[in-house]
Each structure stands twice: as structure tokens, then as C-alpha cells.
Structure 1
Amino acid sequence: MQIVDPQISEMPIRRQPVPEALSTQVHLIHVDAAVAADTGADPDVDDARIVRAKVMRGLADVAAGRVLTADAAEAECDALFR
């Protein structure tokens, strides 16, 4: 994931709107609660929670303007398929 320095004026920074990022975060929380309720002690739940935590951190970074949107999307894909 590439860190974007706000001091660099040559690089355009596209930011994801905060409400969209928060909506996605709320959705992930609801999905997490549903998965936990349905699966109980399934070991895959821990893996799913780790992936969701990584994705949520990436979305928070995008919403705060700390990373480029494309870099966050790439990180999400990496987290899902590793």
C-alpha cells in the first residue's frame, strides 16, 4: 500500500467520500455479527474477522486521505486471497 504525503502537490489525491466508507464499515460489522451468530466456534470465522479488519483499516485510510483509492482496492484483494 502506497502512503501518500499530502505535501506533494504533483500527485492528485482522490478521496473516497466518508459516508460511503462508513456505510461499508457498518455493513461489515453486520456481516461479522451474522457470521459469528451462525457459525459459533468455526475456525474460518477468525480468518474472516482478520480479513474484515484489514479491509476496514484500508477503508479508514482511504476516507482519511492517507492512501490512494486504487492502492486500498489492491490491498483488499491481497487480503482476501492470501
Structure 2
Amino acid sequence: MHPYSMGYVFASCICGLVLFLLLNVIIYVEAETPPPIVELRYGKLQGDFIVAKDGTKYEAFMGVPYAKPPIGELRFEASRKLFIA
């Protein structure tokens, strides 16, 4: 088939259109994924999906307080639990 024949141009346009539509569907599905939410007895935590350098996708929950901040009388002392169960 000659590179500039009508059949070749038509097939190239169809392949390009299919690729374009497929990429749009992938981007739409990725954008519509809701963030992960974990329910704990102290409330709900909302995380986010993070992609590692190797391409692994995982759920991350950042800024979770595990202990009282070391300020005031807690400065230079052993950490204390944030919640007493």
C-alpha cells in the first residue's frame, strides 16, 4: 500500500482517533477515583493515592498525629500518647 493512498490515510486517522479516545478514557477514570478514607474510632482520615518512582500506586495518609507535639512542658521529654484508650 502506498503511504499516501486514501486507504492508508483513512486507517491512520482511525488508529489516531482510537488512541486519542482510549487515552481520554484512561485519564477520566484516573481523575474520577475518589481519595481513600479510613474510619477510625476517633474520626475519619482522608488520604491520597501516591505513585512511587518505580510506578507502584499506594494509599498514603500524611499528617497523622501519633503523639502530642513536644512544646511547653513536653519539650525534651519522652513522647506521650495522643489518645488514651
Q: TM-score normalized by structure 2?
A: 0.28
Higher fraction of helix: 1
Higher fraction of strand: 2
Q: TM-score normalized by structure 1?
A: 0.29
Higher relative contact order (CA 8 A, sep 6+): 1
Indicate the structure (1 or 2) with the bigger Cα radius of gyration: 2
